[in-house]
Amino acid sequence: MSNSYDPQSSPILPTANPPAWLGVMGGGQLGRMFAQAAQSMGYQVAVLEPVLEPGATCPAGQVAQRLVNAGYDDGAGLDALAAQCLAVTTEFENVPAGSLSRLAQSVFVAPNADGVSVAQDRIAEKRFFVGCAGKSGVLPAPHKVIASEADIAAIDDELLPGILKTVRMGYDGKGQVRVRTRDDVRAAFAGMGQVTCLLEKMLPLAYEVSVLTARGVDGASVVYPIAENVHRDGILFTTTVPGPNVSADCAAKAQRAAQAMVAELAYVGVLCIEFFVLADGSLVVNEMAPRPHNSGHYTMDACVTSQFAQQVRAMARLPLGDTRQHSPAVMLNLLGDAWFADDSDAIREPAWDQVLALPGACLHLYGKDDPRRGRKMGHLTLVAATLPEAQQRLHEACLILGIAP
């Protein structure tokens, strides 16, 4: 299939109407849920994923019409994806930006390499946040690049205690170490192989929120209700919407900031930006993900347009969808721990029949056949007429699954 337009020179791109092919870089659960949303709208989906073991499957590859088994920087695989599809997106931010640039030579790519490359590098991300502060009204935490022993010696006392983070490839709490002294920084820096890191000052955090926004190729943008997040061991545990602690003023400020940032990036697609709300009520921007996000899964069951359907709309150059939330919701990440009883190594299937007997329970499993502790296997969204009802259902679901509420 050949493309009928030049994505670099066409000021107005044609709509990609069904049953056109849409492509996804990455075969994980986000790619799977994107594919399912696209297929429900009549599109066909091709996934590029380096499945390395014979007979192995990936969550997105199980449902897509085509799986291109190639590395993310494999030229032949990228060319095959571009030849098949009218538009390509990515399901995670660590796809090589150069690969997205190559695809963009012949096919519409959303988000593009520039937007993704900012989110791939914590230094570039912090530089963007600082540069955008005049429009967004928020700043990141005080921070410093740590690339050498000299950088450690020059740390300002005001930056400690802090968190030392690798500049690239960190997610779900990986690549992060809490540090209180310069000696802690030295030890952590050595433990990370002396790769370039970023030291961020620890702030008096009250809670964390995430803002899901989307922007179309025409510059129009939309924003979802504010999600309040709770993490355990660096992994998202629950997302509650509306956030029980989020004031109207805080929500409005976070939403305005997110829309300013997505505009400044000239971004197309779904973008999630995480903020810290401090004890004094002030807002600090933390990081962003250039894709649908774990904290946005509640939109599949509680909003008019899910985050995945929104991504389809943006990359197909369709009008963006209604972000209205019709039901209060709490989303629970389902980790592989739920497949094990206490400290046992024996795998047992969770009691889904009891979970699904709960009013408003919406179960999403990702097709992974190898439960491991800490591995994301699915999520459960509890929707209800009121937030207290949804929170009560969450409590009941955790008891059934053997998860500490």
Binding-site entries: 122, 165, 170-176, 200-203, 208, 231, 286-287
Locate the DSSP E strands across 135-282.
Answer: 139-140, 143-146, 162-166, 176-179, 197-201, 205-215, 221-223, 227-232, 235-241, 269-278
Question: Which of these, 59, 104, 54, 60, lies nearest to 78 by C-alpha position?
Answer: 104
Q: Is the dihedral of CA 143, 144, 149, 152 positive or negative?
A: negative
What backbone torsions phi and psi does residue 316 show, to the nearest 5 degrees?
-90, 0
* Rounded Cα gap, residues 178 and 164, in angstroms: 6
DSSP-derived secondary structure letter, 397: H
Q: Which residue has the tokens 């571009």?
A: 82
* Rounded Cα gap, residues 88 and 315, in angstroms: 7
Question: Which of these, 103, 116, 88, lies nearest to 25 by C-alpha position?
Answer: 88
Binding residues for ATP: 122, 165, 170-176, 200-203, 208, 231, 286-287
Burial string for 44-56 (b: 16+ CB within 10 Å, else e) reads bbbbbbebeeeee
Cβ atoms of 127 and 353 closer than 8 Å: no
Angle between helices 248-264 and 122-136 (to 10 degrees): 120
What backbone torsions phi and psi does residue 66 show, to the nearest 5 degrees?
-145, 140
